Amino acid sequence: MKVAVIGGGVSGLGSAYVLAREDGIKEVVLFEKEESFFGGHGKTMRLEGVDLDIGFIVF
28 located within any domain = yes
pTM over 0.85? The answer is no
Could you list the residue range(s) of the whole structural domain that residue 30 is in? 2-54
Start-end of H helices in the chain? 10-20
**Number of structural domains the chain divides into:** 1
> From the CB of residue 40, how many other CB atoms can be counted at a distance below 10 Å?
18
39 falls within a domain? yes
59 occurs within a structural domain: no
- Report helix, strand or coil for 27: strand
Give every CB contact of residue 45 below 8 A, 6+ residues apart in sequence.
51, 52, 54
Q: Within a domain: residue 48?
A: yes
In contact, 1 and 25? CB cutoff 8 Å: yes
Tens digit of each residue's pLDDT (9 = 90 or more) over 20-53: 999 999 999 999 887 766 666 677 889 999 998 8
